[in-house]
Amino acid sequence: MSDRINLRARLLSLDKDLEGKIVLEYYEDGFVVCEEGLIVEVLSADDYFAKMPSGVSYEDLRPHLLVPGFIDNHVHMPQQDIIAGRSGELLDWLDRHAFPAELRYADHDFARIKAETFINELFSAGTTCAQVFSTVHRHACESLFVAASAKKMCLVAGKVMMDRNAPVDLLQNAADCREDTESLIEEWHGRGRLRYALTPRFAVTSSEEQLSYCSDLLSHHSDLYVQTHISENLEEIDAVRSLFPQQKDYLEVYEQAGLATTKSTFAHGIHLSKDERQRLFLAGSKIAFCPSSNLFLGSGLLDIESIPDANLSIGSDVGGGTGLSMLHTCAEGFKVAHLAGYDWHPFEALWSITKGNADALGLGNSIGQLRPGFFADMVLLDLDQPRALKNRLEHCENLPDELFALMFLGDDRSIARTYVAGEVVFDRMELS
């Protein structure tokens, strides 16, 4: 019983019903009871006190708001230090910023330190689960798994695969790539809360041979995830067209390799044709909406209104994205939605970075909600920080407006504490 924790706070958790309508679970004064890393009870304070014998201790976190930990379904570990790299659009930015940053991970010690830093930075942003691109280096991906595993974090990650159109030191021949990838899968996939994602960066940097090797791996390990990019930028699409002249469109390049599965996440998808979208939806694959990155790189505006819940996920896409905060990512999402004349509701936004992203990863039965039986992955929000948020909230009359303000005005100071499997992994209250 020693690891039992009783937390009292405002509680908010979102689900959807079978018709796709938001189901709100909100307690102005509630309790979350956790044991052995799992949530065992979520209830109102009145119900808690009626049930519990007197004298049981609890931690009173009011007036802070406790919500499920945020989930980032598309982010690049080696790009943590190149956020806000000034450049042209995507392909220029890759050459100027992303590739040089990834080359530095050839150094084992550097990669290990940066993997630990990255995991801690996610926690300080309130993110408790992520789907992550590592680099082409096997040791860098291993370091990432080691760092996540040490914190009992749920992580989906993979070693980037590239065999052309990138600096030579980031390219791998087929034999080396095969050996590294298979070794990582064997060592890490399904170990604790870790999962492996096949990670061909995108069709520009993977030959047909490399993509068909992914297909081969999937035939042996059908439960592997797949993460890649698609139709982010017009210049990129032109490059894919000339590299794969025999395919009718970008998606078909991945389809031919068997990479459009229910566990596949295609980042961006801004410029997909109607036909490509329909095929991708039918395949059950996910599009990762990365509004911060799309605005930063001038890539375009994703029409999220047209994407079914079952196919939508959302990611920070650091370092094309300008921060790891999923609250910030939602704020950028509102801007993209506004430009398309779509009123993205704050509940939909919060759902997308919690339960929605959990569902997109096929993990919606264990994370993404404050619910008995789920992992106690949670984030405690201090809505008095920063001052601009506190001031705004004095004039907010309902929960959606409060969340909307939080997403625009909240920052790292709003993240009071982060829990992973019931353990405190970040504690700003302790720092102050």
By DSSP bridging, strand 312-314 and strand 127-133 are: unpaired
Q: Tell me phi and psi for residue 28, to 5 degrees.
A: -65, -35
How far apart are CB 126 and Zn ion at their closest, in Å? 20
| Alpha-carbon distances of 67 from 81, 348, 357, rounded to whole Å | 28, 14, 14
Q: Which DSSP string corresponds to 9-22?
A: EEEEEEEE-TTS-E
By DSSP bridging, strand 225-230 and strand 194-200 are: parallel
Closer of 210 and 385 to Zn ion (Cβ): 210
For Zn ion, how many residues bind (rule: CB under 5 A)? 2
How far apart are CB 339 and Zn ion at their closest, in Å? 21
How far apart are CB 134 and Zn ion at their closest, in Å? 12
Closer of 317 and 377 to Zn ion (Cβ): 317
The stretch near Zn ion (CB under 5 A) out of 121-129, 215-223, 309-317, 353-361 is: 309-317
Closer of 267 and 409 to Zn ion (Cβ): 267
Per-residue x/- mask for Zn ion, residues 265 to 294, rule CB under 5 A?
A: --x---------------------------
Q: Tell me phi and psi for residue 95, to 5 degrees.
A: -65, -40
Work out the burial of residue 152: count CB atoms within 10 Å of its CB; fewer than 13 is exposed, 13-18 middle, 19 or more buried: middle
Closer of 227 and 354 to Zn ion (Cβ): 227
Work out the burial of residue 85: count CB atoms within 10 Å of its CB; fewer than 13 is exposed, 13-18 middle, 19 or more buried: middle
Q: What are the DSSP E strand ranges found in 249-327? A: 264-268, 286-289, 312-314
The stretch near Zn ion (CB under 5 A) out of 79-87, 93-101, 313-321, 397-405 is: 313-321
Closer of 237 and 376 to Zn ion (Cβ): 237
How far apart are CB 83 and Zn ion at their closest, in Å? 13
Among 317, 382, 402, 412, binds Zn ion (CB under 5 A): 317
Q: Name the residue type at position 22.
A: I
- How is residue 353 annotated by DSSP? I
Per-residue x/- mask for Zn ion, residues 250 to 269, rule CB under 5 A?
A: -----------------x--
How far apart are CB 78 and Zn ion at their closest, in Å? 11
Distance CA 330, CA 319 (A): 16
| Alpha-carbon distances of 365 from 19, 108, 261, 360, 362, rounded to whole Å | 18, 36, 20, 11, 8
Looking at residues 44 to 73 of the shown chain, list those that interact with Zn ion (rule: CB under 5 A). Answer: none
CA–centroid distance for 279 within its chain: 23
How far apart are CB 250 and Zn ion at their closest, in Å? 15
Q: Name the residue type at position 167.
A: P
Distance CA 151, CA 418 (A): 12
How far apart are CB 106 and Zn ion at their closest, in Å? 21
How far apart are CB 293 and Zn ion at their closest, in Å? 7
Cα(first)–Cα(last) distance of the chain, in Å?
Answer: 30
Per-residue x/- mask for Zn ion, residues 327 to 366, rule CB under 5 A?
A: ----------------------------------------
The stretch near Zn ion (CB under 5 A) out of 31-39, 317-325, 389-397, 423-431 is: 317-325
Closer of 79 and 418 to Zn ion (Cβ): 79
Closer of 172 and 265 to Zn ion (Cβ): 265
Closer of 73 and 418 to Zn ion (Cβ): 73
Closer of 267 and 326 to Zn ion (Cβ): 267
Closer of 321 and 410 to Zn ion (Cβ): 321
How far apart are CB 91 and Zn ion at their closest, in Å? 13
3-class SS of residue 423: strand
Q: How many CB atoms lie within 10 A of CB 396?
A: 16
If we measure between CA atoms, which residue out of 39, 41, 44, 125 comes closest to residue 80?
A: 125
Sequence length of the chain is: 432
Work out the burial of residue 90: count CB atoms within 10 Å of its CB; fewer than 13 is exposed, 13-18 middle, 19 or more buried: buried
Distance CA 399, CA 99 (A): 42
Distance CA 332, CA 323 (A): 11
How far apart are CB 363 and Zn ion at their closest, in Å? 20
Closer of 180 and 317 to Zn ion (Cβ): 317
How far apart are CB 361 and Zn ion at their closest, in Å? 16
Binding site for Zn ion (CB under 5 A): 267, 317
